[in-house]
Amino acid sequence: MPTVAMIGGGQLARMTHQAAIALGQRLRVLAASADEPAALVTPDVVLGSHDDLDDLRRVAAGAVAVTFDHEGVPTDLLHALVAEGVNVLPPPEALIHAQDKSVMRRRLSEMGLPVPDFVDLDGPDAEATLRDFFARHDGRVVLKAIRGGYDGRGVWMPDDLDDAVAVLTRSVADGTPLLAEARVAMRRELSAMVARSPFGQGAVWPVVETVQRNGQCAVVIAPAPDLSDELATQAQTIALRLANELGVVGVMAVELFETQDGHLSINELAMRPHNSGHWSMDGAVTGQFEQHLRAVLDYPLGDTRARAEVTVMANILGADSAPEMSMDERCHHLMARMPDARVHLYAKGERPERKIGHVNIVGAPGDDVAAVRERAERAAHWMSTAVWTDGWDEHGRE
Amino acid sequence: MPTVAMIGGGQLARMTHQAAIALGQRLRVLAASADEPAALVTPDVVLGSHDDLDDLRRVAAGAVAVTFDHEGVPTDLLHALVAEGVNVLPPPEALIHAQDKSVMRRRLSEMGLPVPDFVDLDGPDAEATLRDFFARHDGRVVLKAIRGGYDGRGVWMPDDLDDAVAVLTRSVADGTPLLAEARVAMRRELSAMVARSPFGQGAVWPVVETVQRNGQCAVVIAPAPDLSDELATQAQTIALRLANELGVVGVMAVELFETQDGHLSINELAMRPHNSGHWSMDGAVTGQFEQHLRAVLDYPLGDTRARAEVTVMANILGADSAPEMSMDERCHHLMARMPDARVHLYAKGERPERKIGHVNIVGAPGDDVAAVRERAERAAHWMSTAVWTDGWDEHGRE
């Protein structure tokens, strides 16, 4: 059976290996160190760096495809691999839209897709451009690093013009190019996950609602509650069209805003398994990790139907101070209280706000969405902090 | 997080590793060679033999528990490990009932559980005992190796007394002790899977129907269609009682006959994840591999409810002559035809009748059991032989 190589040894690669096992395969990973989440669980590990061409060549050797658990590989190295005959998926021409927000914004605008007004802040006129854009949008502006931002890093919400100029000045000094976007008056955030194979088959999962805290995904509700059929179809159509026109291979998350006036606005693209797709591991017929493999292997895609009326995913984050109770013991108490909780742990050290696992709660028929969400969030909070949000005493002491 | 060690590197260990990944762990396996199914997918492999005490010690070192993917470890070695402080689960005193059919039969009889009439065929009077037993049961007798039989090996259905005596003579010459059992006039075969933790918690899955071909499990229908509530509860009660009274830790399959007159008769015990539990990977809230880990870790057990009205598992067996079409290409065509099929491949060489994978089809609400079974069997037959049983042309040629 074929071998797929994944650049990056994080939790996305770890869970992709889990899916590879069922397909009679194993995942090869390029990991920075032997204790990364994926390197701990697959024997096929190449230790090296994602920005070293020789390391990339080593992990690609003999693999039918090279794919990614992050968007950090420099574009020139990807082109070099392709020139040497490596099957890089998604291809660099597609991946650039998930790496470079300026390229993405321009392309989506040209396609006539709903994006906020934006402007690149580069060159000697950058500050003048920012001042003008800021005035034009009554200060409702967000600044973003064009490359490299994720999970709230590389995104700034300036309080006023002075603050905005200060962010720009710092980033010019750091050599981090920025763009400015108009802030969207949003009702909530959505994600439309799609997969596409080289053959051209596309498949979308139900559109989900994502809840962000401190700039990163905290909770996902699948499918998005009370989303109109019209907006759901619109979001899925955007995802399928983008996957096709950009030439994506693998899974892609299209992160969207549902605006207060009932429209969609595209926020970000991610061309890899994505936090907003973790619910699918337990809540869909085919999970995103298997689907990503199927796509890069050019297998026919799997059925993306939801298996329940509602599934809620909540991230387990490292607490501000790691609890004294071990993760093992926390797991014990969670299982005692919620025998149906689906726990996914990444074997990562606990640092504040770091994603170290997630919990899926799959609702039973007729379950109330809010109740399922409450259980998922309670479970994740417990696993983070060893504190039950409702005061439950896990030892039943009086 | 704790490390569990499993003796044996087969598909059961492979799928247990998949489950371990979600729990933030990885499975350590004792494998005979580096190309065994589990050794291919976990980095924590000890190469060695399950009947070498030093190898057993090496795999046990630092693990919180040692458990099994087969019942082949000699009892004296397990007792030696226990004497050295190793946490062997299930304990040898329980495991013996899955290793030695004579011990099992006697114990179950003493417990008053429904078992067929049986007799040990040992000592100088073995042939006389067999002749007597054969006459008493009008020739409706089955002969079984007391130790080491599985998947149809070590079981004989003699046509007549001469045949039975010939089997006995051969086995005496081989040094393989036998017992004789009365054949049960059965309607069908069932399996009641149960898990038990050291804490004493027990949990049963829905009782399933198993379909055997050539002495090994071919198809499992979960839950068993048209099984009366009374028999289902009886089977589950037997499984829970056995798990408790034998001191089982981990999962156990209680293989049963449903007799033509509507009773149960216990056939075999297996104290490990079992073929009759593979459906649970996709069809139950908690699958048997995660449950086995939860039990040996003394975690609270997971919810065993079925997630669908019907799930059917069909084994993929090596064909009489391996098809020219590669497994990779067969997988491709299966996915094209059945996007909802859940495929589990073991990365084993294809030899006739060898279990090399399985397919689960999870029915949608209202699906007909026979139709779901037909799809599962068709999928598995295709994966075995590259032939569709209904003449489907995968390339759509006219």
Q: What is the ipTM of this complex?
A: 0.96
Residue type, B184: V
pLDDT under 70: residue ranges of chain A: 149-152, 397-398
By the CB < 8 Å criterion, does B358 face chain A?
no
- The pLDDT value given to residue B265: 98
- The pLDDT value given to residue A214: 87
- Considering all CA atoms of chain A, what is the largest pairwise distance in Å, rounded to the nearest integer? 69
Fold of the CATH domain B4-88: Rossmann fold (3.40.50)
Question: B21, A43: Cβ pair inside 8 Å?
Answer: no
Per-domain residue ranges of chain B: 4-88, 117-182, 186-385
Nearest to B31 by CA among B16, B47, B18, B15: B47
Interface-testing mutation among B1, B36, B41, B281, with chain A (most A C-beta atoms within 10 A): B41
Beta-bridged to residue B210, according to DSSP, are B189, B220
Question: B301, A340: Cβ pair inside 8 Å?
Answer: no
B164 is in an annotated binding site: no
* Chain B positions in Cβ-Cβ contact with residue A347 (cut-off 8 Å): 1, 24-25
Question: A339, B14: Cβ pair inside 8 Å?
Answer: no
- How would you label A331-345 residue by residue, b for 16+ Cβ within 10 Å and e otherwise? bbbbbbbbbbbbbbb
Nearest-CB residue to A302 (from B22, B298, B335): B335
The answer to whether residues A29 and A35 touch, using CB atoms and an 8 Å cutoff, is no
Question: A331, B14: Cβ pair inside 8 Å?
Answer: no
A181 is in an annotated binding site: yes
List CB contacts of A152: < 8 A, sequence separation 6 or more. A212, A214, A215, A216
The answer to whether residues B287 and B278 touch, using CB atoms and an 8 Å cutoff, is no
Tell me how far CA of residue A196 lies from CA of A298, A305, B332, in angstroms.
9, 16, 15
By the CB < 8 Å criterion, does B14 face chain A?
yes
Q: How many CB pairs under 8 A join A and B?
A: 122
By the CB < 8 Å criterion, does A303 face chain B?
yes
- The pLDDT value given to residue B397: 60
B182 is in an annotated binding site: yes
Nearest-CB residue to A357 (from B14, B24, B343): B24
- Mean pLDDT, chain B, whole residue set: 96
C-alpha span between A1 and B362 (Å, rounded): 25
C-alpha span between A29 and A5 (Å, rounded): 6
Confidence at B152, pLDDT banded by 50, 70, 90: low
By the CB < 8 Å criterion, does A352 face chain B?
no
C-alpha span between B62 and B64 (Å, rounded): 7
Is a pLDDT exceeding 60 seen at residue B398? no
Three-state SS at A173: helix
- The pLDDT value given to residue A152: 67
Domain A186-385 indexed as CATH 3.40.50.300: no
- The pLDDT value given to residue B394: 80
By the CB < 8 Å criterion, does A331 face chain B?
yes
Question: B345, A286: Cβ pair inside 8 Å?
Answer: no
- The pLDDT value given to residue B395: 81
By the CB < 8 Å criterion, does A58 face chain B?
no
- The pLDDT value given to residue A397: 60
The answer to whether residues B369 and B359 touch, using CB atoms and an 8 Å cutoff, is no
Lowest model confidence (mean pLDDT) among A141-150, B17-26, B38-47, B334-343: A141-150
C-alpha span between A76 and A94 (Å, rounded): 14
By the CB < 8 Å criterion, does A327 face chain B?
yes
* Chain B positions in Cβ-Cβ contact with residue A331 (cut-off 8 Å): 23-24, 299
- The pLDDT value given to residue B122: 87
The arithmetic mean of pLDDT across residues B237-263, rounded, is 98
Three-state SS at A388: coil
By the CB < 8 Å criterion, does B299 face chain A?
yes
Interface-testing mutation among B281, B327, B331, B338, with chain A (most A C-beta atoms within 10 A): B331
Is a pLDDT exceeding 90 seen at residue B335? yes
Q: Are strands B4-7 and B45-47 parallel, antiparallel or unpaired?
A: unpaired
Q: Which two tokens stand for residue B329?
A: 């290409």
Question: B346, A294: Cβ pair inside 8 Å?
Answer: no
By the CB < 8 Å criterion, does A113 face chain B?
no
Confidence at B322, pLDDT banded by 50, 70, 90: confident
B189 is in an annotated binding site: yes
* Chain B positions in Cβ-Cβ contact with residue A43 (cut-off 8 Å): 39-43, 45
Question: B18, A22: Cβ pair inside 8 Å?
Answer: yes
Question: B22, A345: Cβ pair inside 8 Å?
Answer: yes
Nearest to B312 by CA among B272, B282, B335: B282
C-alpha span between A15 and B361 (Å, rounded): 22
**In this structure, which long-range contacts are made by residues A105-111, counting pairs with CB atoms below 8 Å and at least 24 apart in sequence?**
A105/A179, A105/A181, A107/A246, A108/A242, A108/A266, A111/A241, A111/A242, A111/A245
By the CB < 8 Å criterion, does A187 face chain B?
no
Question: B331, A23: Cβ pair inside 8 Å?
Answer: yes
Fold of the CATH domain B117-182: Dna Ligase; domain 1 (3.30.1490)
Confidence at B214, pLDDT banded by 50, 70, 90: confident
Nearest to A169 by CA among A147, A143, A149: A143
By the CB < 8 Å criterion, does A349 face chain B?
no
- The pLDDT value given to residue A122: 87
